[in-house]
Amino acid sequence: MKELYLVVGLGNPGKKYRDTKHNVGFDMINLLAEKLNVKVEKIKHQSLYGEITINGEKVILIKPQTYMNNSGISVRGFVDFYKIPIENIIVVYDDIDIPIGNIRIRKKGSAGSHNGMKSIIYHLKDDNFPRIRIGIGKPSGEKDLINHVLGAFSKEARELVDDSILRASKAIEEIMNTDLEKAMNIYNS
């Protein structure tokens, strides 16, 4: 039987949040969907989603529409409905502790300070799933965290993060075509 994978890009719905640092997960899903010629516009479990086959594996791409802090509700809905094994969930999201331009792939781990990941781990009752963190850097000076993550990138930073998003999409394809270890070896920066 073919494996089933769930690729989750975290972000917030609506024009107000488009192109913000907190929405790089959505940006990665959009790029991957464009590369693979799949539309992510069907609605299920409070998410926009699309389905594709990569290297014989069925892959569901989702963008939860619950707002970041409740992302786990959507993920849990897909996991329960499709009986997706925990290790076949790949979550892509922003990380302030990683410099802009870098990505990090991990097999499992805590949520750190990321509320979307806290919600997913809370709803799944498990953190043993791969994740790809896209660096957005720390706020400079006295700028508070909320304004930082909900703010737009400068032109220079946007170019760096777009390259990170491209590498994250390639890492997803590498995971599907070979495995997580190889993707980590190639793309961790």
Distance, CA of 181 to chain centre: 18
DSSP 98: S
Q: Which of 22, 45, 114, 123 is catalytic?
A: 22
22 is catalytic: yes
Beta strands 47-54 and 42-44: pairing type? antiparallel
**Sole residue written with tokens 């959505």:** 26
Are the beta carbons of 110 and 155 closer than 8 angstroms?
A: no
φ, ψ for residue 69, nearest 5 deg: -70, -10
Which residues participate in catalysis according to the annotation? 22
